[in-house]
Amino acid sequence: MTQRPLLGATPPMGWNSWNTFGAQITESVVRETADAMVATGLRDAGYEYVVIDDFWEADERDAGGRLQAHPERFPSGIAALADYVHGQGLKFGIYSCAGTHTCGGRLASYGREEIDAQTFADWGVDYLKYDFCYRPFGADGPTLYRRMAQALRATGRDVIFSACEWGINEPWAWARQAGCHLWRTTGDIVDNWKSIRDIGFGQAKMASYGGPGGWNDPDMLVVGMRGKGNVAEGGCTDDEYRVHFALWCLLPSPLMIGCDVRAMDTFTSELLAHPGLIAINQDPAGLPAWNLNGDENHWDWKNFQLWARHLADGSIAVGFFNIHDENTHKMVVGWETLSLDPRRKCRVIDVFDDEEVCITDVSFAINVAPHSVKLVRLVPILD
């Protein structure tokens, strides 16, 4: 018997409507987004899911108790929209909630898990984002997510199950066993430096829980939003977006684009499709990154961060992150902190530029500007 491939073997990649469109999402936007993901090369770069977030729902279920699409914003219905997305060589995702209503007050799936899961499967859904609002008193997260995961499995359709529980009950400790393929570790991200910094560099304590089949999710990308859209709160500089994307790739985290891909500038499209960064994120070993600073008691934890990750080919990705507001830092990583013999020579490859920087042993040092990142791969040279 042929064994089915592991669902969620690498972090999911795609686009979600919430960050830019929020309650204003429409069928035409989704169709245009699917077209843009093909035209801009994002699909070929690995982004495969097009996910509708909240506010797709009608005010009432149909006579059979099934959820329905909003008749004005989604006049063709969800099945037809899923067919269109599939026709572009992409996969289709949708949103519901573990409570009685979604976070936007729309109809949700509590007590209707089986009929809703079957409805989604009948529509051709490949990905379900499942939120945590309006849950009944006493209904715990593990039980609610286990119920929907079981309902999805019973349909016989492969559906990536995203637990958007916001880290309230430490889902990294139980969500994989409950049947989830990714789980939110934090509250909602917004488009500013403080949000990226606080969420991204706060992932160390749960890093070891992520891996093939189940991933820590520090929320969607705000790369390229430029202070526009539903979660716009100031925007970021190019360097800050580079920090954001490099860290999410290194951790590794799901890569769910949140900007309007129909209107990306060149910087955004090139960053999101960067082959070297995506290769690190999608590395088949799925090993977690770790924070070389240790913890928040480190003497300079608030000024710079060093993160490293072993890759399947034997190389090591190292991110040098300067989170200071003003000063450039000279940052150093020693071989002993990476489990390398100090005598082992390594090629040092700049990931962003895809260029060899040097060949060295013992340690490597580099200057990093404020709110910026340098990301390298150390490739051991074997005698």
Active site residue 44: no
Contacts of 161 (CB under 8 A, 6+ apart): 128, 130, 145, 148, 149, 152, 179, 180, 181, 182
Nearest Cα to 248, choosing from 207, 298, 292? 207
Let me know if 365 is exposed, middle or buried by CB neighbors in 10 A (0-12, 13-18, 19+): exposed
**Assigned token pair, 277:** 């960064």
Distances (CA, A) of 13 to 45, 49, 92, 201, 370: 9, 6, 12, 21, 29
Nearest Cα to 5, choosing from 313, 288, 284, 287? 284
Residue 191: how many other CB atoms lie within 10 Å: 29
Nearest Cα to 258, choosing from 9, 51, 102? 51
Alpha-carbon gap, residue 170 to 213, rounded angstroms: 18
Let me know if 47 is exposed, middle or buried by CB neighbors in 10 A (0-12, 13-18, 19+): buried
Active site residue 35: no
User: 114-117: long-range contacts at Cβ-Cβ below 8 A with a sequence spacing of 24 or more?
Assistant: 114/151, 114/154, 115/65, 115/66, 116/66, 116/67, 116/148, 116/151, 117/148, 117/151, 117/152, 117/154, 117/155, 117/159
Catalytic residue among 131, 217, 260, 283: 131
How does 269-295 read in b/e, with b if 16+ C-beta sit within 10 Å? bebbbbebbbbbbbbeebbbbbbbbee
Contacts of 200 (CB under 8 A, 6+ apart): 218, 243, 244, 247, 248, 251
Catalytic residue among 35, 188, 238, 350: 188
Contacts of 351 (CB under 8 A, 6+ apart): 246, 276, 277, 280, 317, 375, 376, 377
Q: Which residues does the annotation mark as catalytic?
A: 131, 188
